[in-house]
Amino acid sequence: MSVSIPSLEDAKCIFLFGYNPSASHPIVSRRIVRAKEKGAKIIVADPRVIETARIADIYMQINNGCNIAFLNAFANAIVTENLHDKEFIAEHTNGFDEWWETIKDYTPESVQHITGIDPETMREAARMYATAESAVLGWGMGVAQQKQNVLTVHTLAAIACITHQIGKPNAGLAPVRGQNNVQGSCDMGMLPNFFPGYQKVTDPAMREKFAKAWGVPVEKLSDHEGYKLTDVGHNAEEGKVHAFYNFGEDPLQTEPDAQDLKRQLQGLDLLICQDIFMTQTCMIADVIFPGTSWGEHDGVFSASDRTFQRFTAAVPPKGECKHDWQIFSELSTRMGYPMHYEDTQEIWDEMRSLCPTFYGATYEKMAGVGHAQWPIPTIEHPGTPIMYLGGKFTTPDNRANLMAHDWEPPTELPDEEYPLILCTVREVGHYSCRSMTGNCRALSLLAEEPGEIHIHPDDAKARGIYDGELVRAFSRRGEAMSRAVVDERINKGTVYMTYQWWIGKCNNLTLHAVDPRSHTPEDKFSACQVEAIEDQVWAEQHMQELYTQLKNDLADLASAQDVEPTSQRQPQETRESVIV
């Protein structure tokens, strides 16, 4: 994020594009409500009437999968109405004329059949955003989980640049991150192309620096980028990956086309899982390392807006559980590279000494409820709430490079056999793979298996589906049982599932297609079909049985003393075929 989350409250305009804060980040959502109370204009473009749409000055119910077409037309409307900031463009950006070559063809009228948005409404929104004293452009998974995701981010950034809604207070880009520390995992180099601090593994000077600090020959540090998570499955199948150390992730629940992925991971020579709960991926692992949870260890979280915050353990670890850093250190030591740290501060200080962007973020500064916001290059530095102030960008010439792209349709379009668009999102009561929230009684009262499938009234009627009934959803990849919620707030021809449910597992249905640059899966768009289930009594019972069986399997494995290797065990295929 170029802005800070608290500054959202003082923005004069907030434009949310494919982000549903009231379910995903209620605290951010509250700040948006405060901004509204202070007079900010709110614009929402989302294919669902999300909660924030209710307080929006302009809400646009876009067609699913139209992002670049919509944004190009939005940019077109800004420039044709002469609302772009010519001075800022001339002084702080490159490539406007070339950018316009692509954008000029995308009038709001010419793409209305793709976006579904009335041209005058789009123009009004473009005016509202471009002429605001300060505007924040926020987006989430509605952008990220699409085939053209990186290109869409280029487009969003260009819109902020041509309107000078970046590089000044209370204005800028707010791409939100997911988990409380997903930003931190990227900051700390848990990416296949970076060392900590966004220092490229392909840069010889960086390899030199880290090799020296770690006391290893430079050849020991790989000079090429690693695989991304979505490449692990097919690379295992092709024999390029033999072992997979899976740390804090439940890919068999959260990656697309989960059944195919399971088959691929079962072919590995070695699968290690390091988690704080038993998960479906742990169930097929050869080795499980039990870690400690956020309540049991110390550390630092980075928020979406680059803010580091320290947290401390509330209770000691139980049983055999160890802190993640201890597990890594012990493993490394046994593999011949002794690693000894006293505490997390020692690790943090080593990290700081190697990462110029983070150097000033000391534990002292973060004591109590203190925080440090990067870039923070020196101990005296106050941190950076707003990036690119004065239009100074982090490119070699300090200018933003404007990029424009043509829209392409999503990979798997609906057809006669699979006529519905499946869009998968999250819900407020449960969290990602649900290992952490699934066993909580209060939360299961709020929402329980097999989750919900939201379906438009016309589509429900055409299929004889009634609100609250269990239904069967299926695609070319697989199927799941879910509970129908007849919902007027979505586009006709689309259904929505959340990816939290184990029996109602939407990732049995989703397509494994990725953006070619980021390799992020297209979770927001695949083709499916939904059917009523005649015998509801049977369906309710069957669903309960499947759920009980799965919970028992997880519990058995968690309490097993001496578990035989998974390769000896029968593959648990039968449980996955959910319906009949």
Ligand X SMILES: Nc1nc2c(c(=O)[nH]1)N[C@H]1C(S)=C(S)[C@@H](COP(=O)(O)OP(=O)(O)OC[C@H]3O[C@@H](n4cnc5c(=O)[nH]c(N)nc54)[C@H](O)[C@@H]3O)O[C@H]1N2
- The binding site for Mo ion (CB under 5 A) comprises 178
Q: Considering only CA atoms, which of 394, 198, 393, 385 is closest in space to residue 307?
A: 385
Q: What is the C-alpha to C-alpha distance for residues 68 and 76, in angstroms, rounded to an integer?
A: 12
Which one of residues 127, 168, 426, 489 is an interface residue with ligand X (CB under 6 A)? 426
> Closer to Mo ion at the Cβ: 181 or 491?
181
Partner that binds at residue 524, options ligand X, Mo ion, none, CB closer than 5 to 8 Å by kind: ligand X
522 binds ligand X (CB under 6 A): no
| Least distance from ligand X to the Cβ atom of residue 95, Å | 25
User: How far does the chain reach from its first CA to its final CA, in angstroms?
Assistant: 46
Interior angle at CA 527, CA 260 and CA 534, nearest 5: 90
Q: Is 22 in the site for ligand X (CB under 6 A)?
A: no
Which parts of 440-479 interact with ligand X (CB under 6 A)? none
Give the gyration radius of the chain's Cα atoms.
Answer: 25
Binding of ligand X at residue 145 (CB under 6 A)?
yes
Q: What is the dihedral of CA 149, 153, 155, 157, to 10 degrees?
A: 180
- Residue 181 CB, nearest approach to ligand X (Å): 9
250 binds ligand X (CB under 6 A): yes
Q: Is the peptide bond before 450 cis (omega within 30 degrees of 0)?
A: yes
Residue 276 touching ligand X (CB under 6 A): yes
Q: Which residues pair with 495 in a beta bridge?
A: 422, 455
- Give whichever of 376 and 480 is closer to ligand X, judged by the CB atom: 480
- Among Mo ion, ligand X, none, the one that 17 touches (CB under a kind-dependent 5 to 8 A) is ligand X
Residue 375 preceded by cis peptide, ω within 30: yes
In the list ligand X, Mo ion, none, the entry touching 18 (Cβ below 5 to 8 angstroms by class) is ligand X
48 makes contact with ligand X (CB under 6 A): yes
Cβ proximity to Mo ion, 178 vs 493, nearer residue: 178
Contact with ligand X (CB under 6 A): which of 2, 52, 254, 362?
Answer: 254
Phi, psi of 169, deg, nearest 5: -60, 145
- Spatial distance between the Cα atoms of 343 and 312, rounded to a whole number of angstroms: 12
523 binds, among ligand X, Mo ion, none (CB under 5 to 8 A by kind): ligand X
The Cα 273–Cα 280 span in angstroms is: 10
Q: Is 436 in the site for ligand X (CB under 6 A)?
A: yes
382: alpha, beta or left, given left = phi > 0 and alpha = psi -120 to 50?
A: alpha
**Interface with ligand X, residue 428, by CB under 6 A:** yes
Binding-site member from 65, 233, 383, 414 for ligand X (CB under 6 A): 65
Least Cβ distance, residue 390 to ligand X (angstroms): 30
Site membership for ligand X, residue 348 (CB under 6 A): no
* Tokens read off for 576: 């996955």
Minimal distance, residue 64 CB to ligand X, in Å: 5
Amino acid 23 reads A
Q: Shortest approach of ligand X to residue 149 CB, angstroms?
A: 10
Q: Is there binding between residue 67 and ligand X (CB under 6 A)? A: yes
Strands of 475-569, DSSP E: 479-486, 494-498, 526-532
Which of positions 194-233 make contact with ligand X (CB under 6 A)? none
Q: In the set 40, 42, 45, 347, which binds ligand X (CB under 6 A)?
A: 45
Answer yes or no whether residue 291 interacts with ligand X by CB under 6 A: yes
Cβ-proximal residue to Mo ion, closest one? 178
Distance CA 139, CA 1 (A): 10
> What is the rounded distance in angstroms from the CA atom of residue 105 to the CA atom of residue 110?
8
For ligand X, the closer CB: 130 or 433? 433
Position 330 contacts ligand X (CB under 6 A):
no
The answer to whether 500 and 432 are in contact (CB under 8 A) is yes
User: Pairing state of beta strands 13-17 and 135-139?
Assistant: parallel
381-410 residues in contact with ligand X (CB under 6 A) are: none
Q: Which of 405, 384, 401 is nearest to 393 (CA)?
A: 401
Which among ligand X, Mo ion, none contacts residue 291 (Cβ within 5 to 8 A by kind)? ligand X
Instruction: Out of 15, 88, 129, 431, point to the residue binding ligand X (CB under 6 A).
Output: 431
Smallest gap from Cβ 518 to Mo ion, in A, equals 13
Query: Residue 373: which of Mo ion, ligand X, none does it interact with, CB under 5 to 8 A by kind?
Result: none
Tokens of 142: 């509605």
Q: How far is the CB of 2 from ligand X (least distance, A)?
A: 17
Rank residues 103 and 174 by Cβ distance to Mo ion and give the closer one: 174
Determine, following the binding rule CB under 6 A, whether residue 412 of this chain makes contact with ligand X.
no
For residue 498, the minimal CB distance to Mo ion (Å) is 13
Q: With 0-12 CB in 10 A as exposed, 13-18 as middle and 19+ as buried, what is 93?
A: buried
Helix or strand holding residue 481 (H, E): strand 479-486
Which one of residues 29, 52, 170, 279 is an interface residue with ligand X (CB under 6 A)? 279
Q: Is 64 in the site for ligand X (CB under 6 A)?
A: yes
- Binding of ligand X at residue 350 (CB under 6 A)? no
Quickly list H helices, 55-95. 67-80, 86-92
Q: Which stretch binds ligand X (CB under 6 A): 99-107, 135-143, 192-200, 388-396?
A: 135-143
Give the range of 303-311, 397-405, 426-434, 470-478 binding ligand X by CB under 6 A.
426-434
* DSSP secondary structure of 95-149: -HHHHHHHHTT--TTTTHHHH---HHHHHHHHHHHHHSSSEEEEE-HHHHTSTTH
Give the single-character DSSP code of 85. Answer: -
Cα(428)–Cα(69) distance, integer angstroms:
30
65 binds, among Mo ion, ligand X, none (CB under 5 to 8 A by kind): ligand X
- Find the part of the chain contacting ligand X (CB under 6 A) among 210-218, 246-254, 301-309, 470-478: 246-254
Strand partners, 194: 191, 200
Closest listed residue to residue 197, CA positions, set 376, 9, 385, 357? 357
Applying CB under 6 A, the span of 199-207, 276-284, 466-474, 568-576 interacting with ligand X comes to: 276-284
d(CA 153, CA 166): 14
Closest among 45, 105, 78 to 160, alpha carbons compared: 78
Residues that bind ligand X (CB under 6 A): 17-20, 23-25, 45-48, 50, 64-65, 67, 140-142, 145, 178-179, 247-250, 254, 274-277, 279, 291, 293-294, 324, 423-426, 428, 430-433, 435-436, 499, 506-507, 510, 523-524
